[in-house]
Structure 1
Amino acid sequence: MLSTGSQLSLLAPTTRNLLTLAITAALPSTVLADGQSGTQATNQVQKDIVIIAETYRNTGTKSSLEPEETPQGISVIDQEKLNLRGVSSINEAMRYTPGVNTELRGGSVVRMDQFTIRGFQNAQNFYDGLPLLFNDWNLQPQIDAAAIEQIEIFKGPTSVLYGAMPPGGMVNIIAKQPNHDETGSISASIGSNNLRQTTIDKTGSIAGREDLSYTFTGLARQKDSQAVTAEEERYLIAGSVDWQLTDQTLLNFNLYTQKDPAAGIYNTVPAAGSVFSNPNGELPTTSFAGDANWNVYDRDVTLLGYKLSHAFNDNWTFLHNARVMDADALQKNTYHSGSFAADNRTLNRRAYLTDESSKGFTVDNQLSGRVQLGNIEHNVLAGIDFQRLKSNIKYEDAATATIDLFAPDHHQINPGMTLTNTVYSSDFDIERKQVGIYLQDQIRLGNWVVIAGGRYDDYKSTEKGRKYNAAVNNNIEQTNFSGRIGALYNFDNGLAPFISYSESFEPVGGSDRNGKVFKPATSHQWETGIKFAPLGSDTNFTLSAFRIMKENVLTRDPSGGALDQIQAGEVRSQGIEFEISSDLSDQLSVDFTATVLDMEFTKDNKGLQGKTPVWVPENKATLWTNYQLSNAMRLGTGIRYVGKTQLDAANTRKVPGYTLVDLAMNLDLGAYNSSLQGSSFNLSVNNLFDKRNVSCFDANNCWFGADRTIEATLKYEF
């Protein structure tokens, strides 16, 4: 996790050198082959640690340190919450997470996970600690909720453990893990938009052997999109096998393969008629500005990996985590160029096609150990990771028929049309490499937990080929050091105040008009707060205040031409987050979150100084309650409020906020009839009152939020 001790004198360059020396990396003894955790901290009473797998390590520290003891904001969404709420995507899963604004492109755009964390956009998810390599075009690997054990959101700069990343935070998706317990389930779902879905899960030993266990998930889903004429379709197989080679060595093989023959739409509608008034009336939330004959998104993604965990002794362990990716996506789509014509109903459009392929490799090597020096316990982590992405992008773009959005004809384009020799024609290759070396020391002294860490990254990127009908040969070669330090004090009553400092970086390509190559954009965060997780209690909360500064942002060169840029921009994000989970009684549990966020450009030469970026709500609050009516029935109710956002970068107008209500019900059918033992029924309703809501990038590009959706699932466990 990010971290800094107390108010150390602002980590300037000199302090960075001290921080480098202070690093010796942390990981409490990893889980040993016999399934028990390592020795507990000296003079510290700890809660039992819930072990997900021997190859699992906490997102914020790459250790087994509990989120309640980590001096930084972390939110965890477990499988129980995912199942009860009936979520199918990362965006849906994080609707009730503080500091996160999801579904930036509305309810019909499901092909990518797009959200902001503490105001900063992030499309780079991680899966079991390794990045899901994204080419920044249209080919983003997506992990379906059916294959997920839990989701961990690590708030603030994360480069100290993961390299180049946006400063708001990251999402790490934890896969379902093998288990020797023989369990299985099959479920069938139906619902709104003609939803039909079947899921199967199975875990257990292989051939009754104690050294081999597995997990398997399969899913098939078809449904209509919220937008008229569009459809969504997905098929996936995911699973992994644990092979206990020796008492000290575990080998895991894992696979995730997914095919999406259809994935809804990616089009927008203007603000006039969606957010604001239009002389022709109000656009329906099912509006589609595209064409049914030219709306294709066909994606195939395969992830194949392995993990090797070896315990040298009770104190030292090694984890090797590697994965290859093979992915491709074909897209046919349209976009409108500009706002409505003078009649306030007709849009000029262009048709485009992208054909993308990506091959990637990622590996992370972690050596961790525990060293006891007197009363001080050091949990040391040293690691080196590497990632490489090779991607080819072909793009064509041409003018096509206009559309009357208030009386649309969605069948104007010839599906066999070819797009060639256009002004935006592109065929180029991207190659990116990142090598990172990191160190961390997690120190325990009495009730104190201190984390200090640092990382050096070497990042390279090239673009070669033809881009927008012009030859392109862009190169980025940048290095960066990122650090963090933090401290937390555990009072005996469960209170744990903390303070931390952390850094991150993002590569920036190009140069200024004098040929000076740009530096990476860098960010740093101060965060302080208090966590509360008393022993023997089901209550825990986190209250934190943070301030993130991002420097070296590209902005216009006031002394140069219209396209000349300099690194004089700066963005500030500051706010307060609150998250509490509590069992108020044996029957009633409550989860409440609140976020207040203030974000703006603090330096800029393009007229953005003092402006707030789009997709950043002024405030957000959520409440979810679970009520156990009986041993057989549980009811869940959710309320989520998302505040106003800016319509565009210039902050000319605001998009209204909204409040949505969700419901969930779970019935254990076996409690009503013994012949139905193992059967359950789950009903989830999102946006119960069908509240209209919209998000916007600017006045010409807005998206409708998800309408009311109902999903009913019948599940049998065996």
Structure 2
Amino acid sequence: MTVYNGPRPGQARISVNNKSAALALAMTCSLAGIGAAITLTPATAFAQQNTARQHFSIAAGKLSDVLAQFAAQAQVPLSFDPRVLFGIRSDGLQGSYTAREGFQALLSGSGYALQPEGEGSYSLRRLPSDPVTLSPIRVDAGAGEESAYGPVAGYAARRSITATKMDIPLIETPQSVSVVTADQIEIQDAESLHQALLYTPGVVPMGSDNLISDGLIIRGFNVTGSEPMYLNGSKLPRNTFSGVSEPYAMERIEVLKGPASVLYGNAAPGGIVNMVSKLPRTKTSRELKVQGGRFDRKQLAGDFTGALTEDGRLSYRVTGLLRRGDTMTDHIPDDRDFGQLSLRWQPTDDTSLTLLANSQRNDTVYLYGLPLEGTVQHNVNGDIDRDRFIGEPGFDKFETKNKSLGYLFSHRFNDTFTFRQNALYFDAETDWNYLIMGSLDASQRMLSRTSAARNDRNRTFTLDNQLQAKWSWGAVEHTSLLGLDYEQSQFKRTQYRGTAEALDIFDPVYGSPVQLNGSPVSDTTEDSNQLGIYAQEHIKIDGRWVVMLGGRYDQVDGKGKDHLAGVSATTYDDHAFTGRAGVLYLFDNGFAPYLSYSESFEPISGQSAGGQAFEPTEGEQTEIGLRYQPQGGFTSITASAYKLTQENVVTSDLANPGFSVQEGEVESTGFELEARANLSSGLNLIASYAYIDNEVTKSNSGTKGNRTNGVPRNMASLWADYAFDGLLYGLGVGAGVRHIGETRNIANTVAVPSYTVVDTSLRYRLSPQWLVTLNIDNLFDEKYATCSYACFYGVKRSATVTVKYQW
């Protein structure tokens, strides 16, 4: 991936006519950083090349260089000043094209188009700020204006599918959305969802371990296990321990902040995460990546896409990864096999079917954690080592196998109506042996332990039908959406318990016997179903005012079976209506203030002392914000303030000990600021700040005033990336700083200290095909921890080297 660097002033103008000289001069200018006016004047007229196809194989590089090579090979007279294209990169061109198709593919997204100059010659012209309707030419599924399903050049996305289920510009969305692009994932070398979201405001990964769970806190609410994950807009209702996400397979990661039930059904009030897969493109692109370094890591990854037919109607993408390595903690491996295949069939310009499948196997060990004493509290024996393992080598394991199969279907009936149907099947199995940490003895050395094992099986199916209508009435533009979705899920778990000997955590001796009982302590199955119907209206009035309205009705039920007791029961049978409303105003200068209100619901199991089933918890958010996205630029800034409340929270029933009542309430009030910019000087930035005032506002359990575990009051981050040009062309450097304020453990008895971590990146492009990158996380080896039921050290300083080959 590449990042737009933008033009710079003060360069000379030079004009040449000879084709060979022009190409030589273009390459010289690239190396020397000197702009030139390049004129290529072969005799053949451009009009004669409109229907004639020829094969091109032009490597990625500066857009000015790639255009010069293409014009020379296509024998098209083209004049332009490279200064206006300074810093803009191109993926090159592979395959058969007419001259017109080739130019359109290369200039897509650059802000420029061909301009006839008479006598068969052409130049470049700057496109106006307003969208321009171009005649359809099948060149690349990812070409043209940015698509909510497609790649983003740099860090600043301009469109999103997550907040509206429609390809709506972010500037017209009255709710906060953060988008992590594939460029950011690659440059920061994010190997997990946790790492990919480290520079996203209001999002806090649960714990420091990212091998067994994608658990997150969003806007002060733990969304783990509440179905916050979506894949290409389809719900991915997997259990917390049914697998983790692979960022290398993602084009973008989008976080919708706040209640999202109006489009997605039951969910925690903090928000959801939608991951968009790398989908097929008709332009051939191939890469291989070899990585080594941190904790004996050895990794091979590849991504291949292109057309399977000459007309591009059938295209493919294959993405895969093999990893063998260790972790900071002794005796915990990090092995992964991942493969993803997608096929797109587009029989007409109005119909598209994309099939997606992936398979993943993880072989690691569950990191249970460490005691408070010796990590964030005083221990008479000193600090516990960061690499300490409390389990038993040879017994502990965490093996996960999961696979998914789905499709994305779309058909445009006419200029008004479009139908979409998305389906996803997910199947996962987890085998898990681990030792449970007990307490320290009086010497604060010996840690008691018990053994446990379990097997989980998770199967889910989701189907989402959407009918969209785009229509106008006078000066009012409407985009209407009507949807019906269905989810079916089954989760089976069998658990065992046993015994193990204590461990000296300051001088561990492993190899003591571990016993597991032959009979399980629990064997349960949970089945759930959800059916929802929703409607949404996006109204744009006179090109200025945007009004968003939405409503949804859900019917959900859950049934559980205890196989040991032979008892089945309905755990919940609920229905809920949720809504959303927002208003936004678009100024000419790129500013867009907005105000919105949204709701969520989340079913919970259990019943009161009187035998009444618990009602779903309810969330509601009021948000006021301001977006800034200048026309024709690559900058996105969002500032938002919100009040987010969750009601019907379960708390102790004082009149009936051992039972609960739904009289609890949790509230988060906060402010977020996020800036993403690809600046003209070659400097690219990500800056964020979040203030989260989170506390229990109602409780019968004596917890009123407590903060939710792991929620900092303040968090901030800054990432800067600079791509050199001129004599240092090919060199790129990046550095970031992340600060997380003081947090609390689950019991709210310990204040976990704040911490600040610095990350760096250094890369050098040896040629258009070869790129070498060095990433160092936690550059100054900051020692820090996060705590919940136990404490987890943050990853110590670690470095990886990546060599990538593209062709």
* TM > 0.5: yes
Asked if the contact 1:76/1:151 (under 8 Å) is kept, the reply is yes
Give the 3 Å change call, closer, same or farther, for CA 345–464 of structure 1 in structure 2.
same
Asked if the contact 1:225/1:264 (under 8 Å) is kept, the reply is no
Task: Tell me the distance in 2 between the aligned counterparts of 1:134 and 1:383.
Answer: 22
Tell me, yes or no, if structure 1 residue 661 matches structure 2 residue 758: yes
| Deviates most, 56-65 or 512-521 | 56-65
Task: Tell me the distance in 1 between the aligned counterparts of 2:625 and 2:512.
Answer: 57
What's the offset of the Cα at 1:208? 3.4
Tell me, yes or no, if structure 1 residue 485 matches structure 2 residue 581: yes
Letter in 1 for 2:236: L
Task: Tell me the distance in 2 between the aligned counterparts of 1:305 and 1:129.
Answer: 11
Task: Tell me the distance in 1 between the aligned counterparts of 2:577 and 2:222.
Answer: 22
Give the 3 Å change call, closer, same or farther, for CA 552–247 of structure 1 in structure 2.
same
Give the 3 Å change call, closer, same or farther, for CA 308–583 of structure 1 in structure 2.
closer
3-state DSSP class of the match of 1:292? Answer: coil
Asked if the contact 1:294/1:333 (under 8 Å) is kept, the reply is yes
Tell me, yes or no, if structure 1 residue 252 matches structure 2 residue 354: yes
Aligned to 1:17: none
Task: Tell me the distance in 1 between the aligned counterparts of 2:229 and 2:245.
Answer: 9
Give the 3 Å change call, closer, same or farther, for CA 365–405 of structure 1 in structure 2.
same
Task: Tell me the distance in 2 between the aligned counterparts of 1:533 and 1:546.
Answer: 21
Letter in 1 for 2:519: N
What's the offset of the Cα at 1:709? 1.5
Tell me, yes or no, if structure 1 residue 272 matches structure 2 residue 373: yes
Task: Tell me the distance in 2 between the aligned counterparts of 1:640 and 1:57.
Answer: 26
Q: Deviations over 1:330-387 (max 9, x none)?
A: 00111123x2111101111111111111221111111001121111111000001111
Give the 3 Å change call, closer, same or farther, for CA 232–520 of structure 1 in structure 2.
same
Show structure 2 runs of 5+ residues with no match. 1-103, 110-128, 133-143, 152-158
Q: Deviations over 1:570-602 (max 9, x none)?
A: 000010000112345412222210001100000
3-state DSSP class of the match of 1:716? Answer: strand
What's the offset of the Cα at 1:52? 5.0
Asked if the contact 1:369/1:380 (under 8 Å) is kept, the reply is yes
Q: 2:196 aligns with which of 93, 102, 107?
A: 93
Give the 3 Å change call, closer, same or farther, for CA 319–345 of structure 1 in structure 2.
same
Asked if the contact 1:540/1:582 (under 8 Å) is kept, the reply is yes
Tell me, yes or no, if structure 1 residue 624 matches structure 2 residue 715: no
Task: Tell me the distance in 2 between the aligned counterparts of 1:577 and 1:79.
Answer: 23
Aligned to 1:26: none
Aligned to 1:221: 323
Aligned pairs (5 A) from 1:547-558: 547-558=643-654
3-state DSSP class of the match of 1:237? Answer: strand
Q: 1:231 aligns with which of 327, 333, 340?
A: 333
Tell me, yes or no, if structure 1 residue 646 matches structure 2 residue 744: yes
Give the 3 Å change call, closer, same or farther, for CA 714–532 of structure 1 in structure 2.
same
Asked if the contact 1:187/1:200 (under 8 Å) is kept, the reply is yes
Q: Deviations over 1:82-136 (max 9, x none)?
A: 000011110000000000111x2224x5211111000111233111111222235
What's the offset of the Cα at 1:54? 8.6
Asked if the contact 1:227/1:264 (under 8 Å) is kept, the reply is no
Letter in 2 for 1:449: V
Task: Tell me the distance in 2 between the aligned counterparts of 1:258 and 1:527.
Answer: 38
Tell me, yes or no, if structure 1 residue 284 matches structure 2 residue 385: yes
Letter in 2 for 1:455: R
3-state DSSP class of the match of 1:188? Answer: strand
Aligned to 2:223: 122
Task: Tell me the distance in 2 between the aligned counterparts of 1:110 and 1:45.
Answer: 45
Aligned to 2:618: 522
What's the offset of the Cα at 1:665? 1.4
Tell me, yes or no, if structure 1 residue 83 matches structure 2 residue 186: yes
Aligned to 1:535: 631
Aligned to 1:68: 171
Letter in 2 for 1:635: V
Aligned to 1:132: 236
3-state DSSP class of the match of 2:345? Answer: strand
Q: Deviations over 1:618-671 (max 9, x none)?
A: 10000000112332011000000000001333x33300010000001121111x
Asked if the contact 2:150/2:251 (under 8 Å) is kept, the reply is no
Aligned to 1:3: none
Tell me, yes or no, if structure 1 residue 691 matches structure 2 residue 788: no
Q: 1:383 aligns with which of 465, 474, 483?
A: 483
Task: Tell me the distance in 2 between the aligned counterparts of 1:475 and 1:380.
Answer: 36
Aligned to 1:185: 287
Task: Tell me the distance in 2 between the aligned counterparts of 1:229 and 1:251.
Answer: 45
Give the 3 Å change call, closer, same or farther, for CA 72–435 of structure 1 in structure 2.
same
Aligned to 1:8: none
Task: Tell me the distance in 2 between the aligned counterparts of 1:617 and 1:494.
Answer: 32
3-state DSSP class of the match of 2:195? Answer: helix
Q: Deviations over 1:466-521 (max 9, x none)?
A: 47x79563421011001000011001111110000000000022221112221110
Aligned to 2:501: 401
3-state DSSP class of the match of 1:224? Answer: coil
Task: Tell me the distance in 1 between the aligned counterparts of 2:570 and 2:489.
Answer: 16
3-state DSSP class of the match of 2:168? Answer: coil
Q: Deviations over 1:69-90 (max 9, x none)?
A: 2111110011010000011110
3-state DSSP class of the match of 1:245? Answer: strand
What's the offset of the Cα at 1:49? 4.2
Task: Tell me the distance in 1 between the aligned counterparts of 2:622 and 2:145.
Answer: 28
Task: Tell me the distance in 1 between the aligned counterparts of 2:566 and 2:698.
Answer: 33
Asked if the contact 2:559/2:568 (under 8 Å) is kept, the reply is no
Letter in 2 for 1:660: V
Letter in 2 for 1:648: I
Task: Tell me the distance in 1 between the aligned counterparts of 2:294 and 2:620.
Answer: 44
Letter in 2 for 1:497: P
Aligned to 2:600: 504
Asked if the contact 1:99/1:118 (under 8 Å) is kept, the reply is yes
Aligned to 1:635: 733
How many residue pairs are counted as aligned between the two chains? 658
Show structure 1 runs of 5+ residues with no match. 1-33, 38-43, 671-676
Asked if the contact 2:761/2:774 (under 8 Å) is kept, the reply is yes
3-state DSSP class of the match of 1:95? Answer: coil
Root-mean-square deviation over aligned CA pairs: 2.0
Letter in 2 for 1:419: N
Task: Tell me the distance in 1 between the aligned counterparts of 2:575 and 2:465.
Answer: 20
Give the 3 Å change call, closer, same or farther, for CA 49–69 of structure 1 in structure 2.
farther
Identity of aligned residues (%): 33
Task: Tell me the distance in 2 between the aligned counterparts of 1:632 and 1:471.
Answer: 66
Task: Tell me the distance in 2 between the aligned counterparts of 1:214 and 1:53.
Answer: 15
Asked if the contact 2:284/2:307 (under 8 Å) is kept, the reply is yes
Aligned pairs (5 A) from 1:308-707: 308-337=409-438, 339-413=439-513, 418-421=516-519, 425-446=521-542, 447-466=544-563, 471=567, 473-561=569-657, 563-630=658-725, 631-649=729-747, 651-670=748-767, 677-698=768-789, 701-707=790-796
Letter in 2 for 1:686: D
Task: Tell me the distance in 2 between the aligned counterparts of 1:182 and 1:584.
Answer: 29
Task: Tell me the distance in 1 between the aligned counterparts of 2:432 and 2:519.
Answer: 18
Asked if the contact 1:454/1:482 (under 8 Å) is kept, the reply is yes
Aligned to 2:797: 708
Letter in 1 for 2:663: A
Aligned pairs (5 A) from 1:26-37: none
3-state DSSP class of the match of 1:101? Answer: strand
Task: Tell me the distance in 2 between the aligned counterparts of 1:220 and 1:535.
Answer: 42
What's the offset of the Cα at 1:245? 2.4
Letter in 2 for 1:69: E
Q: Deviations over 1:307-350 (max 9, x none)?
A: 2110000121000100112211100111123x211110111111
Q: 2:267 aligns with which of 160, 165, 180?
A: 165
Task: Tell me the distance in 2 between the aligned counterparts of 1:619 and 1:53.
Answer: 33
Tell me, yes or no, if structure 1 residue 154 matches structure 2 residue 256: yes
Task: Tell me the distance in 2 between the aligned counterparts of 1:67 and 1:197.
Answer: 36
3-state DSSP class of the match of 2:187? Answer: helix
Task: Tell me the distance in 1 between the aligned counterparts of 2:570 and 2:798.
Answer: 45
